[in-house]
Structure 1
Amino acid sequence: MRHVHFPAQRVAAAAGGAEGSPDAPARRIADKAPWYLPAAVGADFAGAAVPVGLVFEAAQQARPLYCALGAALAWVGVQALRRRYATRALGESRGVLPVVHDWLILIGVLAVARVLTGESTPRLAALGALLPALLVTVAHRKLTYRHLFAARREAQAVSRVLVVGEPAAADHVIAHLAARTDHPYVVVGVLPVGQGSPEGGVPVAGRLAARMPEALTEDSAAVLGAVRSHHADLVLVVPGARIAGERLRRVAWALHDEGLEMAVFPGLVEVSVKRLETVSAGGLAVLRVAPPVRRGAQTLLKAVLDRGAAAFGLLLLSPVFLALVLAIRLGSRGPAFYSQRRIGRDGVPFVMWKFRTMVVDADRLKSELSGANENDGPMFKMRRDPRVTRVGRLLRRTSLDELPQLFNVLTGSMSLVGPRPPLPEEVAEYDEVELRRLTVRPGMTGLWQISGRSDLSWDETIQLDLQYVDNWSFTSDVDVMGRTLRAVVDGRGAY
């Protein structure tokens, strides 16, 4: 297990929480930027009103201003009813599907209004006038998400969390939260249950007895006292043998009677919320986890997109292929293409194609450079690999060396999006967890490509691959492809 490095800002925030004052370095900052709500409402209103007004004016509709105002109010109303303007929702998602869902509801609402009012603008023109509302809302959510993500890297716009649980379990949760900044939680204190102390460096806010006390007030007083002294916004309980069932319910009563929030960690890691569903069985709250998507309409769409995009890409990029072939052949002796045996889905080997970026005897020289491997796992990576040619460095920096893999996508051995295909010698060192990344077809790009590439540790690479394997959806593939362009332009981790 790799060593966890706590983000400095969040460590400082946790330490500041012990000062006992809301104005300490880790003051309560759960509320987001005050401009989020007016900016969201304003963008949605203008994104609907302006295009509708212009289109209806051009179509010589009798009341373009009223139509524009009605469309804008309807769009804002739909989003308000769908709770898109709630504090918890603002900036938290940059997904496109929820916005499309809301937009389709808007179309339905305005279609009814059109019939009732007798509005006669051509249907296609009216629909086109509403399209900018969708695009503006998506763009605004992406910008707000990026702003919120950057703020949370500095421990701003976060919720102060008190963790309650047995020491070892609490340590696990605290370390996991502290190692990442893509979430709103900053741990300001821990309330261990039973003997032992957590080792994460977070202030201990008190202690609960190993067994449930007879008096209801004992646990309640300890938890509420810790919440007040550390100004916590949320109590995160890590259930275990010593805090579950009736005892957990009593803690919830105490918190809820004071108007405080409680969350329960179910023990699941890297499971998308889309796969989770809460159900009730005999009075028990049960968390249902749906299996990963492996068949159905979404997999069919993925296959169609892979083959269609690969064929179109090969046709469109044929002049680029020709230019790169000439550059490689003129830059160093040897063939322009490089083929290598890789391991694909379910462990089936295949031949992967790339543009050659190294000298012709690169595979033979690899053993001589094994001591210079900069990756902490079975994957070989070297920032200044002497085997890479001058043209090859440019191809790797721009990811153009990957283009011939479109042939692999077209033939079905690879996908546009998926984990990177490993070498046979790498797979030979895999454990049971790492082998799970082979349950899907490998891809030209993926979460690894857009998250730092070769700058990532082996554990981080595996974590991203397993996150993709377990939570795959067609829309996630589309999102990854969109973010790949930015990663290619940035070039970070490409060597």
Structure 2
Amino acid sequence: MRDLNLFIKRLIDFFGSGIGLILISPLLIISAILIKLTMPGPLFFKQKRVGKNGIKFNILKFRTMKVDREAEKNLDFTKDKERITPVGKFLRRTKIDELPQLINVFKGDMSLVGPRPTIQQQVDNYTKFQLQRLNMRPGMTGLAQVNGNITLPWEQRIEYDVEYILNFSIILDFKILLKTVAIVIMGEGKFKKEKSTS
């Protein structure tokens, strides 16, 4: 049954990401033009991330910061705030910068739902329990992202990811996707407030 669900999940990822890319292509084009007009350099930010079974791939995002190759090479994030452009801030706030990852989903590097992909340095410090995080394709959104996201300690986010993998179902995926849409529309802070009073 789990194998069938995983097959259906991949079909949903393939057709969902393909249709999604077509539907939002005007938004992607406008975003690309704004980036090119306000920031010299490449359109996309690419970084090696660890995927299913430890296989590495290049994650795609719209670039939101001025190019600093030395900082990117050394994974130095201390100057990130001053490198973010006004257009970049908007793209991040609206999550538009993440939309190119639909290409990763279409190619099979990622899934619509799953643990967020991380870098090798973090994987090197995983415990045996945490390594279960690599048993499925990483996702654009996941159980941790709809339950606190960056407000959660890193260890708790991993616990949510492993919980998702152990209890995966197509229905759970749809629930996470619906919550993600609600968070993007209402804003994470407002969504939490509404949830706590319901």
Normalised by the length of structure 1, the TM-score is 0.36
Instruction: For residue 416 of structure 1, report the CA deviation from its aligned partner.
Output: 0.4
Is 1:446 matched with 2:139?
A: no
Separation (CA, whole Å) in 1 of partners of 2:82 and 2:150: 16
1 CA distance for matches of 2:145 and 2:10? 21
The CA deviation at 1:448 is 2.1
Q: Evaluate the alpha carbon distance shift between residue 398 and residue 368 of structure 1 in structure 2; reply closer, same or farther with a 3 A threshold.
A: closer
Query: What does residue 341 of structure 1 align with?
Result: 48
Q: Which position in structure 1 is the counterpart of 2:159?
A: 463
What value does the CA root-mean-square deviation take over the aligned residues? 1.9
* Distance across 1 between alignment mates of 2:30 and 2:50: 30
Matched residue type, 1:359: K
Match of 2:57 in 1: 350
**1:247-286 counterparts in 2 under 5 A?**
none
CA distance in 2, matches of 1:365, 1:451: 31
Displacement after TM superposition at 1:366 (Å): 4.1
Deviation, structure 1 residue 391: 1.4
Structure 1 equivalent of residue 170 of structure 2? 474
Correspondence for 1:187: none
Q: Does 1:306 align with 2:13?
A: yes
- Counterpart of 1:463 in structure 2: which amino acid? E
Letter in 2 for 1:396: R
Residue in structure 2 matching 1:420, options 93, 112, 116? 116
Give the share of equivalent positions with the same residue, in percent. Answer: 41
Matched, 1:328 2:24: no
Higher relative contact order (CA 8 A, sep 6+): 2
**Paired AA for residue 110 in structure 2:** M
Name the amino acid aligned to 1:423.
I
Give the aligned residue type for 1:311: G
Q: What corresponds to 1:389 in structure 2?
A: 85
Whether the 8 Å contact between 1:453 and 1:492 is mirrored in structure 2 is no
Structure 2: where are the runs of 5+ without partners? Answer: 190-198
Contact 1:341–1:349 under 8 Å retained in 2: yes
Q: Residue 112 of structure 2 contacts residue 140 of structure 2 at CA under 8 Å; is this kept in 1?
A: yes
For residues 115-143 of structure 1, the C-alpha deviation after alignment (integer angstroms, 9 at most, x for no partner) is xxxxxxxxxxxxxxxxxxxxxxxxxxxxx
Distance of 1:366 and 1:408 partners within structure 2? 22
Contact 1:343–1:421 at 8 Å: present in 2 too?
yes
Max radius of gyration: which structure?
Answer: 1
Structure 2 Cα separation of the partners of residues 435 and 421 of structure 1: 12
Amino acid at match of 1:367: D
Deviation by residue 1:323-346 (Cα, 9 ceiling, x = unmatched): 000111122221221111110001
Quote the residue 2:76 is aligned against. Answer: 367
Deviations, residues 21-80 of structure 1 (Å, cap 9, x unaligned): xxxxxxxxxxxxxxxxxxxxxxxxxxxxxxxxxxxxxxxxxxxxxxxxxxxxxxxxxxxx
1:312 maps to a residue whose letter is I
**For residue 3 of structure 2, what is the aligned residue in structure 1?**
295
- 3-state SS of paired residue (2:78): helix
Counterpart-to-counterpart distance in 1, 2:99 and 2:6: 23
Structure 2 residue matching 1:444: 3-state secondary structure: strand
> What amino acid is the match of 1:349?
K
The 1-side partners of 2:74 and 2:56 are apart by 23
The secondary structure found in structure 2 opposite 1:386 is helix
Shift of 1:451: 1.8
Q: Displacement of 1:491 after TM fit? A: 3.3
Distance, in Å, in 1 between the alignment partners of 2:74 and 2:40 is: 16
